[in-house]
Amino acid sequence: MSDILLRDKTASRDVDSPAVVNRKTDANIRNPKKIFIKTYGCQMNVYDSERMADVLSPIGYAPVDVPDDADLVVLNTCHIREKAAEKVYSELGRIRKLKEAKLRAGRPGMTVAVAGCVAQAEGDEIMRRAPVVDMVLGPQTYHKLPEMIARVTRDQDGVLETDFDTLEKFDNLPATRNPKGYSAFLTVQEGCDKFCTFCVVPYTRGAEISRSVEQVVAEARHLACKGVREITLIGQNVNAYHAVHDGADWGLGELIQHVAGIGGIDRIRFTTSHPRDMDDGLIRVLGDEEKLMPYLHLPIQSGSDKILRAMNRGHTYAHYRDLIGRIRETRPDIALSGDFIVGFPGETDLDFEQTMKCVAEIGYAASFSFKYSVRPGTPGASMPCQVPEDVKQQRLQALQNLLYSQQTVFNKSLIGRKLNILVEDSGRQDGQLFGRSPYLQGTHFYGDVNLKGRIMPVTIADAGKNSLTGVLA
Ligand code: SAH
Ligand code: SF4
Ligand code: F3S
């Protein structure tokens, strides 16, 4: 349901009139409006932020790197943990000061929009708590941005849009994209039906949907035409992807193989997968498809069956371990990464030890680990036996010590190896280049700037916890 909150927004009478907003005029091509988008959270938000810029480009908005002179500021927010959500309000405080300073100096102010998962979860509260905000827009409404800007301008009212029709969004986003580099995200699946008891995503992103094969392939071809060589297919449960294509049921495996057939696309990745949806077809493709990079993010969250049950993950540790065994048999060079939560309600020392044992047994090349954060409205929030903060902190420390040492050992195991690096950008030092290895590690080496966009063999000379360095082979 969309909703309009009436409020005097005199301070934001600074954007184009609706007639101008809806048309690409010579004036705004010559003198583009500036849009600043700040992105928090996951890859889905990174993709969405790019798409917001794509939606606004035909009506004369060009992206800028700092908010100071922007005509439109968008905060694309994340609600996954309490800290992530809090950041929005502190950032809004800074934006308010910027806007007030501009108005005091007699310059046009700025339109301020809050998008993303906090917008979806707390839209009304944002409107109430932060009068600087002109627009609140949920993740499924970005195709309506021009219309919302027009409404704010015309009516001087705050606009709150939290419709939930994901397919409508994808049907209405522009066909063109303006990728920034040689690697791009492509959303193929959005939303989640799994309802893990700690997680807000099913509430902020809605039910699981998959985009059609035609749409995904058209977007991938377009990216290839724009020089993109690596595509990461993304979804909250990307391996739950399913679609009917030419009368047949397609899963993520079939989709990957199809995308791999597109000329110009040399590398494919996918994230985030759920252990329950990791089927044999996809595992086979992991073994067969050379363009698929040997890196898999497969979160387990906890090594304790009791905690996995309380989290509603729908599988046991043994299931996960067997799954990893089969994946490694099929693709022996695969590097694994995972997500972990410590201090979920009811987690005892013994449960935590089982998580440590899981990490020791499985072995991770990379990881993301978090203290459990109580999220309002999720079942975990009202569970008994919440774990005290200091215990969570100690457990996180111990877990990260183990995970980071595994990561360092993995990175160092690559010293002396020749890896193909997709050169994405210049490095910090003069003459230095930056790219990504097949295992996703950032890699620095010296070389000609013309190598950007190429996949180059690099011999790894040194490795730390977070990155590699090497020399052109
Ligand atoms: N769909 C993915 C995860 C999406 S959220 C999956 O099922 O694995 C990304 C990660 O954030 C999760 O894997 C989890 O480790 C972490 N996370 C989610 N909710 C959290 C919470 N309430 N507290 C702490 N970490 C959380
Ligand atoms: Fe959240 Fe679980 Fe869905 Fe992942 S599978 S998005 S953790 S509810
Ligand atoms: Fe955050 Fe929403 Fe992604 S809550 S992790 S931005 S799906």
Q: Are 343 and 392 in contact (CB under 8 A)?
A: yes
Q: What is the pLDDT of residues 420-442, one digit of tens each?
A: 999 999 999 999 999 999 999 99
Q: Are residues 119 and 197 in the same domain?
A: no
For residues 331 and 284, the answer to whether their CB atoms sit within 8 Å is: no
- Sign for the CA dihedral angle at 444, 447, 448, 453 comes to negative
pLDDT tens digits, one per residue of 172-195: 999 899 998 999 999 999 999 999
Domain annotation covers residue 322: no
Tell which atom from ligand 3 comes closest to the C-alpha of 80.
Answer: 4
Q: How confident is the model at residue 9 (pLDDT cuts 50, 70, 90)?
A: very low
Domain boundary at 168, 184, 210, which? 168
| Tokens representing residue 68 in the block | 């100071």
In a domain? residue 359: no
The predicted pLDDT at position 188 comes to: 98
Q: Is it the case that residue 250 has pLDDT exceeding 60?
A: yes
Closest CA to 469 of 431, 430, 426, 435: 435
Confirm or reject: Cβ of 237 under 6 Å from ligand 2: yes
Specify the pLDDT at position 167. Answer: 77
**pLDDT tens digit sequence for 443-460:** 999 999 999 999 999 999
Please give the torsion angle defined by the CA atoms of residues 345, 351, 354 and 355, in that order, rounded to the nearest 10 degrees: 20
Burial profile 99-130: b = 16 or more Cβ within 10 angstroms, e = fewer: beebeeeeeebbbbbbbbbbbbbbbeebbeeb
Does residue 357 lie in a domain region? Answer: no
Specify the CATH number for the domain of residue 428: 2.40.50.140
- The mean pLDDT value for 300-311 works out to 98
Confidence (pTM): 0.92
Number of domains comprising the chain: 3
Ligand 2 atom closest to residue 200's alpha carbon, by position in its atom list: 1
d(CA 104, CA 33): 20
User: 273 C-alpha vs ligand 2 centroid, how far in Å?
Assistant: 10
Confidence of residue 165 (pLDDT cuts 50, 70, 90): confident
Q: Distance, CA 22 to ligand 2 centroid (Å)?
A: 38
Phi, psi (rounded to 5 degrees) for 39: -110, 130
Q: What are phi and psi of 233, to 5 degrees?
A: -75, 125
Over 90: is that where the pLDDT of 163 sits? no
Q: How much distance in Å is there from the Cα of 170 to the middle of ligand 3?
A: 18
Is there a domain that residue 315 lies in? no
Asked whether 80 lines ligand 3 (CB < 6 A), one says: yes
Query: Lowest mean pLDDT: which of 65-79, 152-166, 400-414?
Result: 152-166
Q: Which residues contact 166 (CB under 8 A, 6 or more apart)?
A: 140, 190, 191, 205, 206, 207, 209
Q: Is the CB of 138 under 6 A from ligand 3?
A: no
Residue 308 CB–ligand 2 contact under 6 Å: no
Ligand 3 neighbour 41 (Cβ under 6 A): yes
Q: Specify the CATH number for the domain of residue 256.
A: 3.30.750.210
Are 130 and 189 contained in the same domain? no
Read off the pLDDT of residues 386-395 as tens digits, 9 standing for 90 and up: 999 999 999 9
Mean pLDDT of 105-122: 93
**Percent of residues, the chain, with pLDDT higher than 70:** 93
CATH number at residue 153: 3.40.50.12160
Last residue of a domain, one of 252, 267, 293: 293
- Considering the domain architecture, whether residues 190 and 133 belong to the same structural domain is answered as no
Whole domain around residue 27: which residue ranges? 3-168
Q: Is residue 54 part of a domain?
A: yes
Give the pLDDT score at 13.
27
The verdict on 150 and 248 lying in the same domain is no
The C-alpha atoms of residue 236 and residue 64 are separated, in whole angstroms, by 28
Residue 84 confidence (pLDDT): 86
**Ligand nearest to the CA of residue 375, numbered in listed order:** 1
What pLDDT digit, counting tens, does each position of 312-364 carry? 999 999 999 999 999 999 999 999 999 999 999 999 999 999 999 999 999 99
Q: Indicate whether residue 45 lines ligand 1 (CB < 6 A).
A: no
Q: 248-251 and 335-342 as β-strands: parallel, antiparallel, unpaired?
A: unpaired
Residues 16 and 164 in one domain: yes
Are 221 and 110 in the same domain?
Answer: no
pLDDT tens-digit profile of 67-95? 998 999 999 999 999 998 889 999 999 99
Q: What pLDDT score does 30 carry?
A: 58
Same domain, yes or no: 25 and 148: yes
Q: Distances from the Cα of 124 to the Cαs of 5, 147, 161, 181, 381, in angstroms? A: 9, 20, 10, 37, 21
Residue 212 lies in a domain: yes
Amino acid at 186: L
Are 459 and 453 in contact, with CB atoms under 8 Å apart?
A: no
- Looking at residue 5, what is its pLDDT? 33
Ligand 1 atom 18, closest CA: 199
- With 80 as the cut, is the pLDDT of residue 311 above it? yes
- What is the layout of strands, in order, in the sheet containing 267-271? 183-187, 230-234, 267-271
Ligand 2 closest atom vs CA 195:
8
Spatial contact of 119 and 164, defined as CB atoms under 8 Å apart: no
Judge if 206 and 134 occupy the same domain: no
The three-point CA angle 372-117-220 to 5° equals 110
Residues 62 and 79 in one domain: yes
Task: Give the distance (Å) from ligand 1 centre to CA of residue 466.
Answer: 22
160 and 16 inside one domain: yes
Nearest CA residue ID for atom 1, ligand 2: 199
**Phi, psi for residue 411 in degrees, rounded to 5:** -60, -45
370 CA to centre of ligand 1 in angstroms = 8
Average pLDDT, the chain: 92
For residue 408, tell me if it sits in a domain.
Answer: no
What distance in angstroms lies between residue 220's CA and the mean position of ligand 2's atoms? 26
HSE on the CB side for 162, CA within 13 Å? 21
192 ligand 2 Cβ < 6 A = yes
251-280 residue pLDDT tens: 999 999 999 999 999 999 999 999 999 999
Q: Is 441 in the pocket of ligand 1 (CB under 6 A)?
A: no
Q: Identify the domain boundary among 255, 275, 293.
A: 293
Name the band, by pLDDT with cuts 50, 70 and 90, for residue 19. Answer: very low
Query: C-alpha distances in angstroms, 327 versus 251, 259, 294, 332, 372?
Result: 17, 21, 11, 8, 29
Within-domain flag for 324: no
Same domain, yes or no: 187 and 252: yes
Task: State the pLDDT confidence band at 369, using cuts at 50, 70 and 90.
Answer: very high
* 373 pocket-lining for ligand 1 (C-beta < 6 Å): yes
Considering the domain architecture, whether residues 184 and 201 belong to the same structural domain is answered as yes
pLDDT at residue 274, as a whole number? 98
Q: What is the pLDDT of residues 99-113, one digit of tens each?
A: 999 989 998 889 999
